Amino acid sequence: MALLDIRQRTGYLFIALTIGQIILISAQVNTARGIPVLEAVTFGVFAEIQRVASSGLSGMRASWTDYVALQEVRTENERLRDEVGRLRVGLQQERALAQRSRTLEQLLELRTQADLATVAANVIAGGASPDFRTMTIDRGTGDGLRPDMAVIAPAGVVGRIITPSARAAKVQLLIDRNAAAGGLVERSRAQGVVEGTGGGLRMSYVSGTADIQVGDAVVTSGIDGIYPKGFVIGQIESVEWGEGSFGAIAIRPAVDFSSIEAVLVVLTPPAAVEDETPGESAGAAPAAP
Partner 1 sequence: MRAVGVLIAIAMAIALQTTLARFLVAGTAAVDLVLVVVIYVALTGGAVTGMLAGSFAGIIQDALSSGVIGIGGLAKLIVGFLAGAIGQQFIVTSALPRFLTFLVATVVHAAVFMGLYVLLGLRSFPSPWTAILSQAVGNAAVGMIAFTVLESLPGVAERRRAKRRM
Counting residues that bind partner 1 (by CB under 8 A) gives 44
Query: Residue 26 carries which side chain, given as an amino acid letter?
Result: S
Q: Which stretch binds partner 1 (CB under 8 A): 45-53, 59-67, 126-134, 238-246?
A: 126-134
Q: Which is nearer to partner 1, 206 or 272 (CB)?
A: 206
- Least CB distance to partner 1 at residue 140 (A): 15
Sequence-ordered list of residues with C-beta below 8 angstroms from that of 33, at least 6 positions apart, any chain:
40
**Does residue 33 touch partner 1 according to CB under 8 A?**
no
**Does residue 257 touch partner 1 according to CB under 8 A?**
yes
**Does residue 221 touch partner 1 according to CB under 8 A?**
no
- Least CB distance to partner 1 at residue 59 (A): 38
**Does residue 47 touch partner 1 according to CB under 8 A?**
no
**Does residue 166 touch partner 1 according to CB under 8 A?**
no
Q: Of the candidates 101, 121, 136, 232, which one interacts with partner 1 according to CB under 8 A?
A: 136
Instruction: Report yes or no: 117 and 267 within 8 Å, Cβ to Cβ.
Output: yes
Residues facing 160 on adjacent strands: 150, 172
Q: Which stretch binds partner 1 (CB under 8 A): 23-31, 147-155, 182-190, 265-273?
A: 23-31
**Does residue 133 touch partner 1 according to CB under 8 A?**
yes
Q: Of the candidates 162, 250, 264, 285, which one interacts with partner 1 according to CB under 8 A?
A: 162
**Does residue 28 touch partner 1 according to CB under 8 A?**
yes
Q: Of the candidates 144, 199, 208, 230, which one interacts with partner 1 according to CB under 8 A?
A: 199
Q: Of the candidates 177, 188, 214, 245, which one interacts with partner 1 according to CB under 8 A?
A: 177
**Does residue 126 touch partner 1 according to CB under 8 A?**
yes
Q: Of the candidates 10, 75, 112, 209, which one interacts with partner 1 according to CB under 8 A?
A: 10
Burial code (b: 16+ CB inside 10 Å, e: under 16) for 82-100 equals eeeeeeeeeeeeeeeeeee
262: left (phi over 0), alpha (psi -120 to 50) or beta: beta
Q: Which is nearer to partner 1, 212 or 260 (CB)?
A: 260
Q: Which stretch binds partner 1 (CB under 8 A): 15-23, 74-82, 265-273, 277-285?
A: 15-23
Q: Which stretch binds partner 1 (CB under 8 A): 39-47, 145-153, 255-263, 281-289?
A: 255-263
What residues line the site for partner 1 (CB under 8 A)? 6-7, 10, 13-14, 17-18, 20-22, 24-25, 28-29, 123, 125-136, 162-163, 170, 172-173, 175-178, 197-199, 256-260
